Chains A and B, each alone.
Chain A
Amino acid sequence: MKFILMMTGKKADWDDYTKWSKEDLQRNVVFMRGFSKELKDSGLFVATEGLAWPGEAKIVRAGKNGEPITEGGFPESKEFLGGYWIIDVESPEQAYKVAARVSAAPGPGGKAASMPIEVRQVLSSHAEVGL
């Protein structure tokens, strides 16, 4: 079963990262690097990406003639995806355990950040939803 582990937060949460000391950021990067390597070594890894800051996000809709219409204003309450991992595991519980490991990544002062991780199953094809 494939699951996506998403780091989501409001823009203000992501802005907080810019206030971290270099040492705190470095410690977090070392953890994340080790975490991705661990997923690869254990055969659970499918994909990971980190996204650009929410300030660069746009919402696009099709206009009448098919031209894209972009909007860049978002409510403060909107959550933005910051990055994700896709893993291939045997059960939802295994995905939750992996998510808990990411959630425990070190934050300021090296304390576990307890960042919330949204966990969702990935459906690989339309056939899986009966289409």
Chain B
Amino acid sequence: MRGEKGGLPVTDGVFPESKEFLLGYWIVDVASPERAYAIAGRISAAPGPGGLPTNMPIEVRGFARYPEANPS
């Protein structure tokens, strides 16, 4: 999706095989990055086929502080 002349939406629905797609996320408020990594490790251990841990990769990112993004 990109804006075009006149602000009309131009959609494009074809993605390279290499593209990663977000499937879901959690937002956690923690005292340190290490605490966030520990929580992500638990999610990564969620059971998959046969009950074995999926070892699914979990991307962990901090938030920026943009007060303007959430005006009260």
Give the A-binding residues of B (Cβ under 8 A): 1-4, 7-11, 18-22, 27, 33, 37-38, 40-42, 44-45, 53, 55-64, 66, 68-71
Instruction: Report how far A52 CA is from B60 CA in the complex, Å.
Output: 10
Q: Given A61-B56, A114-B2, answer yes or no on A52-B62 (Cβ-Cβ < 8 Å).
A: yes
Kindly identify which residue among A59, A60, A104 contacts B3, using a CB–CB cutoff of 8 Å.
A104
Residues of B contacting A81 in the complex (Cβ-Cβ under 8 angstroms): 22, 61
Report the bound CA distance from A75 to B7 in whole Å. Answer: 33
Q: Is the CB of A100 closer than 8 A to any CB of chain B?
A: yes
A residues near B57, Cβ cutoff 8 Å? 59-61
B69 touches A117 (CB 8 A): no
* CB-defined contacts of A58 to chain B, threshold 8 Å: 33, 37, 59-60
B59 to chain A, nearest CB (A): 6
